Amino acid sequence: MIILLLLIFVIFAFYTILYLEKPLWRILGGVIGFAGIIASVALITANMHDHFGMKTETVTSKTQIYSAASTASSDDYGVLLYQPLGTNGKENVYIYRSQKNSLQPKPTEPDLKTTTKRQSISGEKAYLYTKTTRYVYKNGFWSFLFGWADNNKEIKTRTQTYQIPDNWIALSTAQAKQLQKKLKADPSSASDSQGSAEDQVSNLKQALGIK
């Protein structure tokens, strides 16, 4: 609607300047027209840059995730893989199974608006806790005025927290390759298949030098 208003003000301004004969009406019409043009452009800019007419809305979700490594039984430890992004090591792409019977684990998609982190929790199941903040229009009026921009429910920030218990281990892809080599050379050096999942995780961390 704001684009239509801008077009109307443009047409009105040029019509009054070109076709009205009386100087007073021409000046008055021109002032109104160009004031409307400036106001429309200012509103468009404010909406696109500062999300004018919008508010933030935050929603959360929590879903169970499953080990990236195939396991033989429910007593085995879970593995959350990650691949560091860039050189600062602050963000990672995580790899896990979203369904227990998934054939292959899938990596998360990198997103500049998404922050990832890990959190230790009690229990035996791992979860992905997602907190998403979006821009939404305050009411129907603003949605009607700026709806053309297609920016309703645009993501402002998203935080994904991978909650892993003691029977899970988080490994970088480099550490996972190192672990495979260790297990291939000496299966007993990095795991204890007879121990609990927590014991296996402890042995793996010790073998890989993870604190």
Would the pTM count as exceeding 0.85? no
- Distance (Å, whole) CA 34 – CA 12: 9
Checking if the pLDDT of 191 tops 70, the result is no
Sorted by where each begins, the domain ranges of the chain are: 2-50, 60-187+197-205
**Average confidence (pLDDT) over 173-180:** 84
pLDDT of 47 reads: 92
- Distance (Å, whole) CA 200 – CA 79: 11
CA distances from 179 to 74, 77, 162, 176, 185 (A): 21, 14, 22, 5, 10
pLDDT in tens, 87-126: 666 788 999 998 888 888 888 888 889 999 999 999 889 9
